[in-house]
Each structure stands twice: as structure tokens, then as C-alpha cells.
Structure 1
Amino acid sequence: MASITGLMEQRYATTKVILKQKLSVINNIALTNDILTLTNSTRSFILVTAHFLNTANNCTPEHEMVTLTARRMYQAHTADYIKECFENITDEFTIEKDCILSITTDGGANMVAAVKKFLEDGKRIPCMAHLLNLIVDGATRDNAPVLQIANRVKAIVTYFKQSVNAMDDLRAEQEGQKKEGEVLTLIQSVSTRWNSCLDMLERFNTLSAIVAKILATRRNAPDMITSSELSVIRDLIILLTPFKQATEEISGDQYVTSSLAIPIANLLQKGLEEVKPFTEFGVAVQKSLLNLVIAKLNHRDIYILL
């Protein structure tokens, strides 16, 4: 009887042959690339995804996306080593360099240099999702009071996550007003995903009245945030929600996203200019976000392949 591992390897080999046959008749391919390091580990993997229009059987072209590989990296992430990885992966799938229209990567100097060595100038497209992440991280990191408020919320969420009784009370307070399945719980943020911090703040804002009531009745519980701090949180939600929406839109895999970059950049800038925060810290974050959007997203030529 074949093992599960053996069956998976057979399936992989078969699927790979089919994919190589499909790619062999594709003349224009766009690649996206990222390097991931496992949490609490030094193991890194290079991920390469291919995007192309499938015109098989003379049908209407359909956009397809396939992940070519998630390959372990065993050396320092130098430009030369990344270039070597690109060459090995494209050779493995018989993808000719002339067929590669672009490679989308983050803005790391090693990645920029690797694409330049592998292809030529003008073939790299900056990853907008990565730029949006840098903008939000930069704007919040530059405002220490905002970070302190976010950390206080995180401490309260941690308290509820570690207290069965507090979590039970949180559910009980809602059950009289909501149907089964509609009861909400607090969301903990993850350091590697700024979106999760926004999710945490949104949910905390929604449940803030109940949370305050529960904390007031418990010993050794963290102090509830003040009303002025809650106003800052509401400013942050208004300011950051468009960035979350933009990230989700630009990360779609069922449609071409590069043409969305310039409209999204313009909409973000215009939207930020029109927002009127209620707190001085909200105004500070707004100013930082605007400056970073202009600095990182206002170079329209970086999205145009010459």
C-alpha cells in the first residue's frame, strides 16, 4: 500500500508535467517573488508564482496563476544567490527569459539587484502590497503615543484570551442581544501583519463598552483605556481602513492587479487629504501617512514597463 507521502510525490510529478506542457506554449509570463522565513526558525524559502493568459483551444483568454515553487534557501540572500535561484527555477519549468515580461518583488536592495542581473533594467515591478505595509508601519512607528495605545489594547486582549471567566462574561453580555454564531470575541494582533492590528482595534472598539464593564469588576485586570484613547483608536480605524482595502484589492489573484496601482495610489492620497481626525495623534498619523504615500507611491513611472 502506497504511503501518503509517496502518493503526494506522484501527484506532484504528474501535475508538474502538465504544468510544464501548459507553460511551453505561453509566450508572455509575469512572475511574482517573495522570500519567507518561518517564524521562530532560520529556514527561508523563495516563492515564485507565474501569471499568464491561457489561450488554449482558441478560447477567450483566461488569467491563470500558478505557484511554481516554494524552495528552501541554503545561503545568504545575496543578489547573486537569488539570481541563481531564479535561473534554476525557470530552467526547471522551461521558461525562457524572453517570455518573462516582469518580476514583481519587494524593494530590498538584494532583490532589486537580483532581477537586474537576471533580466534587465525595467523588468522589475515593485510590490505595492509591500509598499503599503511599509507606509503603515512607518506612520505608526513614528508616533510613539499611538504605539502605546495599541500595546495597551493588546494587553487587554491578552488578558481576555488568558482568562476563561473573562471570556465567558464577554460572551454572556452579548448572548441576550445576538443570535448563536453572532457573538463576537476579541482579536489579537500579530506582529508580522499590520492588518491584524487594525482588526484588533476595530473589534475592540465594537466591544469597548462590554470590555470596560467586565474589567471594572475584576481584580488584577489591566486598566481600561480612557475615552480620549478610544477616540485615537477611532481615528486610526478611519485612517487605516482604506489601506487594508487597497491591500486586499491589489493582492487579488483572479484578475490583473498592476493596472490598479496608480488609481489606488491616487485614491489613497485624496482620501487621506479629506479625512478630518478628531485627535492630535490622529492628525499626526494622517500627516505621516500622507507624506509616505507621496514619497513611495507617487512615482508613477515605476509601474510602467518601458
Structure 2
Amino acid sequence: MDTAGMKPPGLLQGKFIFKKLPDGNLDKNKVVCTLCNAELVYCRSSSSLKYHLNAKHPSANAEDAGPSTDVARGKTRRQTTMFECNRGKPVSTALSAKLTSLLAQWIATSCRPISVVEDDGLELVLQAATGDPSYKLPARRTIMRRIHDQHAEEKATKVEKMVEARSVALTGDHWTSVNNDNYLGVTVHLIDASWELHSFALGVMKTEERHFAEACARQFLDVANQWGITDKISTIGTDSAPNVVAAGRILPFEHLPCVAHVVQRAIMSLREGGFDGALAKCRKVVGHFKHSPANSDELNVQQSSLGQVKESLVQDVPTRWNSTLEMIKRVRRNRDALHTTCLCRSTNLALPTNADYEKLAKLEKLLEPCRYITELLGGDKYVSCSVVLPALCHLQHAMNISDDDPAYIVRFKAAFIKDLNQRREKINLEWLKICQSDQKITAFYDHNRLWRLL
């Protein structure tokens, strides 16, 4: 019988036919899709052919599958994801308890409002993360109870550390919130048996009464008594506010004023050096760009055109350490960009002159050692008492007056050294000397023993 005009036998209801060779025979190892003429390898299994239909011709496959299948309803077959496998599976009791604890920790450590557990968006996020659409956030009362439990556990850990410590030191500071409420924060510092430094807050208490010396001393003692460490406190460090210094004389432990505060107070001597005019121009320039987004955007354009990094200017604040130095650095670094921007926008802003920039350069050189000292003494991951006296000597050396100094630099250095020396006499030098070396400790006690004998 003549088979030349016959259609090759097909597979899967004729959607695939065997490939016809030039000699008229059929290649049983290859098939051709009748829908797209794609050529596929046939290995006696129709799995790959069905996959081709599902991927390339879902509508044609749906017609044959019948109206009751997912394909007939417009859905394509694919591998189930891990998220879909977990969907509908309820969160275990252990995981739910862990999520509640983590939420409580997040709310407490990040100062989030308790009402965040009523946020629908957060609940949706956790439902998606756990794969359980029925997961519900814990109630406020549950979170509050868990926060109190975590506080009790953390307090027990801190108490254990202080019980094991032979002595501890305190630092404290009074501060005012944005609501004009007064608070006292007290931090303890100790070294454990492994010579590891630990620092943690003992409390932040709201203070209602006036900050007289007696009230400040009583507040520190109340915190120490609450934690049972009164007999272990060796020193207390504070700023140099007169009421706190007076409270330090009342307290039964040694008082050490913060030397970083002392240095920052001495920096105020720059008013004596004739820098007021240059600094006033810097502040006006910074304010001009800080209060105008258009000017700030134009400054960024000029910075890019000059190949500089885009950066905003910094306004100095009396209570923010080293902010004057950072303001000077930014203004000097963007000198060309500032001048070009002012020319482009035709402003009448009084920019620093060449003489002003020369003064600012000299002032930056003088303030840089002060920044280094304050950052060194302000570290909270290491003990810094032993570097106080060498740091002060370094400042003395940096402020030595030379023959090349102009008159305004001489005035600044003289005022700085005078102010620093006056404050230095009030920073408990005897205790700072103990920290220098073993030899000095021995000499200190030998001196005291000899003085008692005499």
C-alpha cells in the first residue's frame, strides 16, 4: 500500500508526530510539535511532551484536559513553592512564643509604642514570613508582661555581674527632654574576672525637684542603694556643672569630672582669638544653604561639576562637640563650589575672604588635637583614665606659642592654656596619676605612707 501521502502516526492525540526522514522513513527518537513545529527528543516517555504543552500551549492542553481541571480554569501547572507548601500550616507554639519574645525585645530596645502590635501591616508581614495566614499578633497585655519578664531577667544578670565585681564606677548626667522634663541617667562600669569591661545603665529617673547639690547627691545614692553597690563604688564621673561638682564633695566616693567636657569648655576660648568674624560668615553661609532646598541642590550640582563628593554643610551648635571644627572643614572643602553657586544665583551673601579662609585654616589646625582628645576620652569600649594626663600634656604641647604665630593665634593659645590649667586643678589629679603605671601606683602609696609617718 502506498504510504507516501499518509500522515505519520501521532502522540498525545496527534499533537506530536514522529519526524519524517528524507527517505520516507520515520525517526522514532524525535517528534515534531504540530502546534509550533518544535523538534523534541522522544525517549519512549511522554512526560517531556506534556511539559512542552503546559509551558508553550496551555490553552490547547486545557481543551483536551476537560473543564474540571486547573488548566481549564486558566491556571498553568508549575512546581509548588516552599511558601505555598507552608501555607495553611499553623505556627507552632514554640515559634509563636519566640516571635512574641522578639517583638517585646524589639519594642523595648527600639523605644517603639506598645500599640505597634495592633498594626495590620506588621501582622501581614509576619503572616507572610511564617506562611500562616491565621497568625495573630499578641495582645498589648501579653507584650507588656513579656517586657517586664525580660527586664527582670536582664536585671538579674546585671546584679550578678555587680555582685562578682570587687569595685565599680559610676557616671551620671542630668539632661532635659524635648518636653522640658528633667532626667538623671546613671551608668555603671566594671571589669569582671576575665578583665572584660562592662558598662550598662542602672536607670533613667525623672527628677522633679531643683538640681541643688544635696538633691543631686541624694539621687545618686538612691540609685546605688537600689542596686546594692554603695560599698563598692570607687569613683563617680560627671560633667563640671557647679551643682554636680558640689554634690561630688558630699558623696562618700571620689568625684572625677569628665575631662572631655573640660576640653570642650576650654575651646570656648576661641572667642578670645579674633575668629568671630570668620566664624560668623561661616554660620551665615551654612544657614543660607540649610534653609533653601534650591540653593542646596545648586551646591550639589557645582560639587559634581568640580569632581567633589556631594555633601551638605554642617552648622555648629554650642552643645555638640566638635561641630565648629566640622563646620570649618566643610566650608573650606567646598570653597570653590560655594563661590560658584553664589555667582550663579546672584546672591548678596557675604562669603569668607581669603584672609578669613587663612584664619579658618589655622583654627582647624588648632581644633584638630581637641577633637582627637575628646573622641579618645569619650570611648565607651575601653578604659581611658590612664590617657588623661598624657592627653592634657599633648594639648599643652599643641598650644605652645611659637614666634611664627600671628597675634590672634597667640591670644587664642594663651586663653586656651589659661582656661585649661584652671580647670585642670579641679579634675582630681591624684586619682589620675594612679592610672599611669605600676611604678606610679607604688610611688603614690609610698608617698602616702611616708606622709602618715611624718
- TM-score normalised by L of structure 2: 0.60
Q: 1:134 aligns with which of 252, 265, 279?
A: 265
SS in 2 for 1:216: helix
Is 1:62 paired with 2:201?
no
User: Are residues 1:231 and 2:362 paired?
Assistant: no
Distance, in Å, in 2 between the alignment partners of 1:207 and 1:5 is 51
* 2:315 aligned counterpart, secondary structure: coil
Letter in 2 for 1:124: H
Question: Which one of the candidate residues 220, 226, 233 is aligned to 1:100?
Answer: 233
Tell me if 1:27 matches 2:166.
yes
- Rg larger in structure: 2
What are the within-5 Å matches in structure 2 for residues 1-306 of structure 1? 1-3=138-140, 7-39=146-178, 41-55=179-193, 60-95=194-229, 97-120=230-253, 123-137=254-268, 139-143=269-273, 145-176=274-305, 178=307, 182-273=309-400, 279-297=406-424, 300-301=429-430, 303-304=432-433
Q: Which amino acid aligns with 2:237?
A: T
Task: Go from structure 1 to structure 2 and tell me whether the alpha carbon gap of 1:149 and 1:5 turns closer, same or farther (over 3 Å shift).
Answer: farther
Structure 2 portions without partners, runs of 5+: 1-137, 435-443, 445-454
Tell whether the 8 Å contact from 2:272 to 2:411 is kept in structure 1 after alignment.
no
Contact 2:302–2:340 at 8 Å: present in 1 too?
no
Task: Tell me if the contact between 1:215 and 1:223 (Cα under 8 Å) persists in the aligned partners.
Answer: no
**Matches of 1:176 and 1:212, distance apart in 2:** 13
**Aligned-partner residue type, residue 136 of structure 1:** I
Per-residue CA distance 1:248-275 (angstroms, 9 max, x = gap): 0001111111111100000110122167
Q: Closer, same or farther in 2 for the Cα pair 1:8/1:276, shift >3 Å?
A: farther
Partner of 2:30: none
Structure 2: how far apart are the matches of 1:158 and 1:98?
52
Aligned to 1:283, what secondary structure does the other structure show? Answer: helix
Question: How many pairs does the alignment contain?
Answer: 294
C-alpha separation in 1, matches of 2:380 and 2:148: 26
Which residue type is aligned with residue 11 of structure 1?
A: Q
Between the aligned partners of 1:83 and 1:23, the Cα distance in structure 2 is 21
The whole-number CA distance in structure 2 between the counterparts of 1:236 and 1:155 is 18
Whole-Å separation in 2 of the counterparts to 1:163 and 1:278: 39
What SS does the corresponding residue of 1:217 show, helix, strand or coil?
helix
1:244, distance to aligned residue in structure 2 (A): 0.7
Of all paired residues, the percent bearing the same amino acid is 23
Distance 1:63 1:164 in 2: 46
Comparing 99-108 and 236-245, the one that deviates more:
99-108
Contact 1:189 1:197 in 2 (8 A): yes
* Alpha carbons 1:79, 1:111 under 8 Å: kept: yes
The 2-side partners of 1:225 and 1:73 are apart by 45
Change (3 A) 1:195 1:6: farther
The 3 A distance-change label for structure 1 pair 72 and 147 is farther
- Alpha-carbon distance between aligned partners in 1 of 2:169 and 2:222, rounded to the nearest angstrom: 17
> Counterparts of 2:305 and 2:394 in 1: how far apart (Å)?
41
Q: CA deviation at 1:185?
A: 2.0
Give the Å deviation of 1:110: 2.0
The residue type paired with residue 134 of structure 1 is R
Rate the CA distance shift 1:185–1:278 in 2: closer, same or farther, 3 A.
Answer: farther
Q: CA RMSD in A?
A: 2.4
Instruction: After superposition, give the CA deviation of every residue in 1:84-127 in whole Å (9 maximum; x if it has no partner).
Output: 211211122221x221111112223322232232215xx11121
Q: TM-score, normalised by structure 1?
A: 0.87
Residue aligned with 2:301, SS: helix
Spell out, residue by residue over 1:28-81, the C-alpha distance to the aligned partner (whole angstroms, 9 max, x if none): 101111111235x532211111111112xxxx3111111212211111001111
Residue type at the aligned position of 1:50: V
**Contact 1:235 1:277 (C-alpha < 8 Å) held by counterparts:** no
